[in-house]
Amino acid sequence: MESTSPAGFQFQSNELHSMKVINFRSSYIFDDRRSAVFEMCNTKVNAAVYGSREICTLFSSKQGSRHRTNQFGGLTLKAMPEQKDITVTNRSRDNRTPHVLTMAGSDSGAGAGIQADLKTCAACGVYCSTVITAVTAQNTHGVQDVSILSAESVAAQLKSILSDMHVDVVKTGMLPSPVMVKILHDNLKQFPVQALVVDPVMVSTSGHVLAGPSILDTFKQDLLPMADIVTPNIKEASVLLDGLQLQTLDDMRLAAKSLHDMGPRNVLVKGGDLPSSDAVDIFFNGKDFYELRSSRIQSRNTHGTGCTMASCIAAELAKGSSMLSAVKVAKRYVETALKYSKDINIGNGPQGPFDHTLKLLRKTSSRLQPFDPSDLFLYAVTDSGMNKKWGHSITDAVKAAIEGGATIVQLREKDAETGEFLEAAKACLEICRSHNIPLLINDRVDIAMACDADGVHVGQSDMPVNKVRALLGPEKIIGVSCKTPEHALKAWADGADYIGSGGVFPTNTKANNRTIGLDGLKAVCVASKLPVVAIGGINLSNARSVMELGVENLKGVAVVSALFDRDCVESETRKLHALLTETVTYNR
């Protein structure tokens, strides 16, 4: 069996049973090789894995100085979800602060460059250190001066940070001379990080050249192959592709593919400068294309959107997000920030900055972890009637489900009185947070906001997903019930994070609910660009048939009665968890 980590790194074979690996983190290294950094809770050392995609060699690391250890030499790893002794996951971080290092130019007007990166990371709750490559004199009229820093200064800044601090993700912006790419390469070889986000900044929006033609070959030959994602705008994509003209979404897809062939693992071609009514970006991961669409905000305050987008992607990756989730959150973040600051008035020129820190105005969420599709594996949905029947309090029921192995919880209290529901939600949230399990609220956006739950699940006739998103902000989890491929595609376009599809089997929990069967579920999964959780009448006797559909997007099952219409919720959950774990390969 083979498992793909959230960061897309693959392992095979099964020789590692006694070692518990927590905190998987992929990073690129050198000599065309990828590495992964592990922390072993039993050995209490950091270990890095250097190697090709299949065979990995473990290195241990003490206080930053990495040396090879024979104990792990040549070891082949298997991430085996069904065996709890190896958990390849990116969620446990020992309370370490997620950290992005930005290597970019200073923008005196503070809308783009280093200043945008610092503000974006702050708004995302991520620490940001800085390596300044150039100092620009820039305002809302344009760029008046550029002073490039010496190679020695840039090298010293990078080393200073990387030799001391634990950096999760490096993000690059303005790299005005080829030697800076080499310095970056050499430093990352010595101090590997989880991911490299490359914003191939070349020209400012006002038309000023920020990195001249001399950089082009280095970008193509050295920088792009190192990148986990590269984020060109239309003009930069064109320059990188020898003047290819980009006018349509199909052109952008073609460009994304050609850029991917140059070595980066993911490509985002940004369409901010395309004259269309929506702002559409194309994301390509080497396999699938995703069209990321948001409304175009009519505003002069769009200077620095590109830097902001790349920093937000880096910040989300540093928090442990998968690449696609990071890009989606970043897209929403830019849209929300532009909307929020569309009328602010800074400077007299044609290109104003926007306010990155909008989120500081909101209470920041106390849950740092982003949504991970594997959270949908065993999705527990509560039911007040069932709890009453068995004499369980809602908190006891939630606790028991989590202890039995539930990976996400939804409170579905159809007939609860609002004040009571809120108190119950707050208590459940405390339990979920202590286990690092996301808590969603069915339908009631107001309750979710009042208790700062991790998200909301809505049905087709509840509040529309785009309205829920506007209320909850870019980071919260939104799920939506879908019965058809059309519903699924709309859910993606509206900005949901996952879909629940069913009823797969007949159920008493929901009156007048049409059953779509396994075939209906499969059709939705195949069409969906979002992860899917199956729901409706799923229990110990039929869960296997659901998981064995073997469709990639199907990440788990959502269950009400089979967990909560029982005397012992914990043991029922445990049984279902064990059964699910036994079934087909799934991605964790």
Ligand X SMILES: Nc1ncnc2c1ncn2[C@@H]1O[C@H](COP(=O)(O)OP(=O)(O)OP(=O)(O)O)[C@@H](O)[C@H]1O
Output the six-digit token pair for 423.
């108190």
Judged by CB under 6 A, the chain residues 97 through 126 that form the site for ligand X are 112
121 as an active site residue: the answer is no
Residue 69's identity, in one-letter code, is T
DSSP 534-545: EESS--TTTHHH
201 in contact with ligand HMH (CB under 6 A): yes
306 as an active site residue: the answer is yes
Q: Is 211 helix (H, G, I), strand (E, B) or coil?
A: coil
Among 113, 178, 370, 474, binds ligand HMH (CB under 6 A): 113
Q: Which residues of 542-559 are buried (b: 16+ CB within 10 A; e: fewer)?
A: ebeebbebebebbbbbbb
Distance between CA atoms of residues 137 and 363, nearest Å: 34
Among 79, 112, 188, 431, binds ligand HMH (CB under 6 A): 112
- Our CB check for ligand HMH shows the closer of 49 and 197 to be 197
- Our CB check for ligand HMH shows the closer of 162 and 174 to be 174
- Our CB check for ligand X shows the closer of 239 and 451 to be 239
Judged by CB under 6 A, the chain residues 190 through 219 that form the site for ligand X are 205
One of 307, 312, 451, 525 is an active-site residue; which one? 307
Distance between CA atoms of residues 252 and 246, nearest Å: 6
Least distance from ligand HMH to the Cβ atom of residue 303, Å: 7
482 as an active site residue: the answer is no
Output the six-digit token pair for 446.
């107001």
- Our CB check for ligand X shows the closer of 162 and 239 to be 239
- Our CB check for ligand HMH shows the closer of 89 and 130 to be 130
Cite the beta strand spans of 224-315 per DSSP E: 229-230, 267-269, 278-284, 289-295
- The structure tokens 């792990």 sit at 72
Least distance from ligand HMH to the Cβ atom of residue 135, Å: 9
Of the listed pieces 54-62, 99-107, 438-446, 461-469, which binds ligand HMH according to CB under 6 A? 99-107
Least distance from ligand HMH to the Cβ atom of residue 295, Å: 21
Among 120, 204, 407, 507, binds ligand HMH (CB under 6 A): 204
CB atoms under 10 Å from CB of 409, counted, come to 27
* ∠ Cα 436 439 440 (to 5°): 155
272 as an active site residue: the answer is no
353 in contact with ligand HMH (CB under 6 A): no
The answer to whether residues 477 and 407 touch, using CB atoms and an 8 Å cutoff, is: no
Distance between CA atoms of residues 398 and 384, nearest Å: 11
- Our CB check for ligand X shows the closer of 349 and 459 to be 349
Q: Which residues of 466-497 are buried (b: 16+ CB within 10 A; e: fewer)?
A: eebbeebbbbbbbbbbbbebebbbbbbebbbb
Judged by CB under 6 A, the chain residues 323 through 352 that form the site for ligand X are 331, 334-335, 338
271 in contact with ligand X (CB under 6 A): yes
Binding stretches for ligand X (CB under 6 A): 112, 205, 233, 270-273, 279, 281, 294, 296-297, 302-307, 309, 331, 334-335, 338
Which residues are designated catalytic?
270, 302, 304-307
Binding stretches for ligand HMH (CB under 6 A): 104-105, 107, 112-113, 136, 138, 173-174, 201, 204, 210, 304, 306-307
